[in-house]
Amino acid sequence: MRRLAHLGFTNVHCLTRDDAKQAALCQGIDAGGLTFLRGDIAATDVLTEGVRDAAIVLNAAGYARAWGTREAFWEVNADAPKALVELLHSDCQYIHISSASVYGFAAQDITADSPIVVSDPLYTASKGDIHAWLRRRMAQPAGGPITVIAPVIVWGPGDHVYIPGIRSRLAQGTMMNFAGAKPLAFVHIDDLVDLILLCLHNPKAYGRQLIADGPDRFTMQSYADKIAEYAGFPPATRNVPIWLAMPLATVAETTTRWANRRNPEKEPDLTRLQVLLFTKPLPGIAPGAESDLGYAPSRTFENAIEGIRDYVQSLA
């Protein structure tokens, strides 16, 4: 939203559930062209009003957790986006933010057209469901243009998944390192936004699935250590061998599910999806066609990590 405002876009509608986020989005920009709609992606009446006559609809909503109920994941990640697409007129470009985790964690190289792989029954299953549905939709002659962007792990200021989660675990003393974990694929939020902007009203992006990758690789421990430094916490010292992490997660999930039968949202200290995301790099990403859009990610751990300092400290 902020980038669109800086670029002079007008008549931009933003769906938000949080007034505080709305204020943060407007800080330091001319928000005259922005209209905020209060609600969530499952609120069909609000969506109908918000997308009427829209030229472009960007859906970056997602239930990005490692635990929860199937209903919660499918409502936000799969069912609501399908209903949203059905609301759009035939000239509206729909840009959907998926996740590269839908391609699984196997060793072979992937492209944006690689098969969908379900690695867990909740997050990747629900994200894979809508991704596959959009593939089928794009193959149909009717309907407006669709672009699906699947980012690897998104990092940077404003991240509401990894940074708050890691910071909370550091504060509680439950953060653990996975000994032997390999560097992971990350993409900085500003690079992801660059790719989104390149897709707007761009026929080269119509009917395309794109993987948003970054220019380098680093470990989750490196990221967590910087979050600890900026938050004023000691770094995590609990080290768990990779071979032991998945069995521990299985035990944690089983005991948490049993002990919290009346509270299925209660998250275990460790989940199998977290182990996958924190320790197993996404498959090698084969050279794709993103370069024909002019996508050139430039934010590395070295040149951009300092940019999360203020955000980490604002979460105190």
Number of CB atoms found within 10 A of residue 140's CB: 8
Q: What is the pLDDT of residue 269?
A: 87
| Pairing, β 153-155 against β 34-38 | unpaired
Cβ atoms of residues 221 and 229 within 8 Å? no
pLDDT for 172 beyond 80? yes
Measured distance CA(135)–CA(140) in Å, rounded: 9
Q: Confidence class of residue 27 from pLDDT cuts 50, 70 and 90?
A: low
pTM as predicted: 0.93
Render pLDDT for 251-303 as a digit per residue (tens, 0 to 9): 999 999 899 988 888 889 899 999 999 998 877 776 665 778 999 999 999 99
Average pLDDT over residues 58-74: 93
Average pLDDT over residues 215-229: 96
Render pLDDT for 115-126 as a digit per residue (tens, 0 to 9): 999 999 999 999
Q: What is the pLDDT of residue 238?
A: 92
Cβ atoms of residues 185 and 39 within 8 Å? no
Assigned token pair, 250: 């299985």
Render pLDDT for 35-60 as a digit per residue (tens, 0 to 9): 888 888 887 788 888 888 899 999 99
Average pLDDT over residues 68-86: 95
Number of H helices, E strands in the chain: 13, 11
Q: What is the pLDDT of residue 197?
A: 95
Domains in the chain, ordered, with CATH?
A: 40-314 (3.40.50.720)
Average pLDDT over residues 209-235: 96
